[in-house]
């Protein structure tokens, strides 16, 4: 490859070249809809690669592993100046281990532990040692569900032992007490455990524990065809069904060399922006409800319901499940349907403007939002915070803007950024993103090309890989796929933005009062299901 075409990542690549594995002298490209370079690193230098990447200001975005006959490949994705770089290392299948990236990147902490629990790969020098994350007690020590020797159906047992011995941080000191919350909650949220240490009402520390809804997504993806994987991807996190399905389809299409028709690409964008609008409406209403402003909750919920009903009428599903398929979309958009969306966009813009005026004048709501749950710019950068959570704290990355993918590279994408980092900022970021999504919908409807809705599928060669990045409503979604023989999936890894953003909840709750936890948590609204693959 010619490095001149990738000048934005040249400095980082050149700094990492001395760490390349013996016999690997080239920087290669991975099949992807976004620009992605690959560098094979010597396993002993894996930790040094993270140190160098950190010193250059690269953002750590995810890690996954893949098993071969007698070895594992571990891949770590970095984002550097709006371009992606994939670091890879090969480790022995007998006693697999690599130096940890977690000493340099906070985001690597739970992600590496997830790989450790499911593959048995040890990350030496990890700050948490070998402390498990995903495993709980669902399978025995020394067994690893993502290894090929582990059966798809698992091993049945009468009961699963409780996870009561998980080593939470212990409360200590005069007047310090502990509050365990969950994993079962009084509301309808999914299970997650939150362990507070507090003095009076002030929170000193919050530690999270997830994995209670671990679904085995990565395991049950194996052996599926493209259509089956698309369906599964749409259920990684139900409120992001378009985002995850689109990412999976783009990765598969990149691997197979299939180009989605232009009209289908625009309809995918319309579906994604509708998903963004609906979720922001729901969150803004829920944030109002968490501070006792029921009027806002009702009004945002009413507007959300109108859009859900329009989804059902136009696309056959309220949440838009299974509307994106490999090679395109399941159904088109008639001229009457396009005109209907234009009307609802206009109506929503007017109603939200009136509603925001009322909210902006509400001093009690302002009192609960302002200066509550602050995530500083430095904390957001250290965590690699994504989406509206990151953008409310000075992080302007948006995959739609750069590196960009169709149809967004043909649209005027605006990325709002604030630096206050409090609950108020995360509320107003949602409002701004909602308004931008409405404009993008109008642009896509105006530019909607004619043409086919699906491309013919082409069976990829065995072990062909694909990668995709999509800007879901919560932020950057990553997806990696590898095809096995006969058009079947050999490896699927989705990385929801919640895996990166959940630790932000721990940061923003510190030094706030315990009663502010609901609004701090809702202002991030990370997905339990997206975390618990």
Q: Please state, in angstroms and as integers, the Cα–Cα distance from residue 513 to each residue in 192, 363, 404, 475, 519, following that order.
A: 20, 20, 40, 28, 11
What phi and psi values does residue 463 have, to the nearest 5 degrees?
Answer: 70, 15
Per-residue confidence (pLDDT) for residue 31, from 0 to 100: 74
Does 2.60.40 match the CATH number of domain 166-212+497-533? no
End-to-end CA distance of the chain: 35
Q: Please state, in angstroms and as integers, the Cα–Cα distance from residue 144 to each residue in 115, 154, 164, following that order.
A: 10, 10, 21
Per-residue confidence (pLDDT) for residue 342, from 0 to 100: 97
Per-residue confidence (pLDDT) for residue 24, from 0 to 100: 63
Per-residue confidence (pLDDT) for residue 171, from 0 to 100: 81
Per-residue confidence (pLDDT) for residue 163, from 0 to 100: 82
Distance from chain centroid for Cα 274? 18
Per-residue confidence (pLDDT) for residue 161, from 0 to 100: 81
Per-residue confidence (pLDDT) for residue 266, from 0 to 100: 98
Smallest CA-to-CA distance from 254 within 524, 470, 431 is with 470
Buried b (16+ CB within 10 A) or exposed e, 492-508: bbbbbbbbbbbbbbbbb
How do beta strands 97-99 and 122-124 pair? parallel
Distance separating alpha carbons of residues 266 and 444, to the nearest angstrom: 6
Smallest CA-to-CA distance from 340 within 321, 320, 313, 305 is with 313
Q: Please state, in angstroms and as integers, the Cα–Cα distance from residue 323 to each residue in 248, 268, 375, 469, following that order.
A: 13, 8, 36, 19
Q: Can you give the length of the chain in residues?
A: 533
How would you write 152-205 as a 3-class SS string?
A: CCCCCCCCCCCCCCCCCCCCCCCCEEEEEECCCCCCCCCCCEEEEEEECCEEEE
Show pLDDT as tens, one digit a residue, over the chain (533 residues).
333 446 678 889 889 988 887 666 566 667 777 778 899 999 999 999 999 999 999 999 999 999 999 999 999 999 999 999 999 999 998 899 999 999 999 999 999 999 999 999 999 999 999 899 998 888 888 899 999 988 888 877 778 788 888 888 888 888 999 999 989 887 778 899 999 999 999 999 999 999 988 999 999 999 999 999 999 999 999 999 999 999 999 999 999 999 999 999 999 999 999 999 999 999 999 999 999 999 999 999 999 999 999 999 999 999 999 999 999 999 999 999 999 999 999 999 999 999 999 999 999 899 999 999 999 999 999 999 999 999 999 999 999 999 999 999 999 999 999 999 999 999 999 999 999 999 999 999 999 999 999 999 999 999 999 999 999 999 999 999 999 999 999 999 999 999 999 999 999 999 999 999 999 999 999 999 999 99
* CATH superfamily, with its number, for domain 3-124: NADH:ubiquinone oxidoreductase Nqo5 subunit (3.30.460.80)
Q: Please state, in angstroms and as integers, the Cα–Cα distance from residue 331 to each residue in 241, 253, 337, following that order.
A: 16, 18, 12
Evaluate whether 291 touches 224 at the Cβ level (below 8 Å): no
* CATH superfamily, with its number, for domain 259-456: Cytochrome-c3 Hydrogenase, chain B (1.10.645.10)
Torsion of CA 48, 52, 53, 56, to 10 degrees: 170
Q: 489: which strand partners?
A: 483
What phi and psi values does residue 329 have, to the nearest 5 degrees?
Answer: -130, 160
- Both structure tokens of 264: 């289908």
Kindly list the domain boundaries of the chain, sorted by start residue: 3-124, 166-212+497-533, 259-456
Per-residue confidence (pLDDT) for residue 109, from 0 to 100: 97
């Amino acid at each position: 490859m010619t490095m001149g075409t990738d000048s934005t990542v040249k400095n980082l690549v050149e700094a990492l070249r001395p760490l390349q594995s013996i016999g690997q002298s080239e920087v290669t490209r991975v099949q992807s809809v976004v620009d992605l370079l690959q560098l094979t690193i010597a396993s002993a230098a894996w930790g040094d690669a993270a140190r160098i990447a950190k010193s250059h200001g690269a953002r750590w975005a995810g890690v996954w592993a893949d098993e071969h006959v007698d070895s594992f490949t571990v891949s770590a994705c970095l984002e550097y100046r709006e371009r992606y770089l994939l670091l890879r290392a090969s480790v022995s299948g007998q006693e697999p281990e690599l130096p940890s990236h977690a000493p340099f990147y906070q985001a690597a902490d739970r992600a590496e532990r997830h790989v450790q629990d499911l593959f048995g790969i040890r990350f030496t020098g990890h700050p948490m040692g070998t402390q498990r994350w995903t495993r709980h007690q669902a399978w025995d020590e020394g067994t690893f569900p993502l290894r090929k020797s582990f059966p798809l159906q698992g091993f049945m047992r009468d009961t699963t032992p409780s996870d009561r011995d998980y080593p939470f941080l212990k409360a200590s000191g005069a007047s310090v007490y502990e509050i365990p919350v969950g994993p079962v909650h009084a509301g309808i949220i999914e299970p997650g455990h939150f362990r507070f240490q507090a003095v009076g009402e002030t929170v000193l520390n919050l530690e999270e524990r997830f994995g209670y809804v671990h679904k085995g997504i990565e395991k049950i993806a194996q052996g599926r065809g493209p259509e089956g994987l698309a369906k599964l991807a749409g259920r990684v996190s139900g409120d992001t069904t378009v985002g995850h399905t689109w990412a999976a389809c783009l990765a598969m299409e990149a691997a197979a060399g299939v180009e989605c028709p232009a009209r289908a690409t625009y309809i995918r964008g319309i579906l994604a922006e509708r998903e963004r609008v609906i979720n922001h409406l729901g969150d803004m209403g829920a944030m109002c409800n968490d501070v006792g402003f029921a009027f806002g909750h009702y009004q945002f919920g009413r507007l959300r319901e109108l859009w859900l009903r329009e989804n059902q009428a136009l696309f056959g599903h309220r949440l838009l499940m299974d509307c994106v398929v490999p090679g395109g979309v399941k159904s088109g958009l008639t001229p009457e349907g396009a005109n209907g969306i234009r009307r609802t966009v206009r109506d929503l813009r007017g109603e939200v403007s009136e509603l925001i005026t009322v909210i902006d004048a509400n001093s009690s709501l302002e009192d609960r939002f302002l200066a509550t749950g602050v995530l500083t710019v430095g904390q957001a950068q250290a965590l690699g915070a994504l989406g509206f959570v990151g953008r409310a704290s000075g992080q302007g990355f948006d995959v739609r803007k750069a590196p960009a993918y169709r149809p967004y590279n043909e649209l005027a994408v605006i990325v709002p950024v604030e630096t206050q980092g409090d609950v108020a900022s995360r509320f107003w970021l949602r409002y701004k993103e909602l308004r931008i999504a409405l404009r993008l919908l109008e642009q896509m409807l105006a530019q909607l090309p004619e043409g086919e809705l699906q491309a013919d599928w082409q069976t990829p060669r065995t072990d062909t890989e694909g990668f995709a990045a999509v800007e879901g409503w919560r932020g950057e979604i990553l997806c990696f796929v590898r095809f096995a023989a006969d058009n079947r999936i050999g490896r699927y890894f989705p990385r929801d933005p919640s895996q990166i953003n959940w630790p932000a909840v721990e940061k923003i709750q510190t030094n706030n009062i315990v009663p502010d936890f609901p609004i701090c948590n809702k202002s991030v609204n990370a997905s339990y299901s997206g975390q618990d693959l």
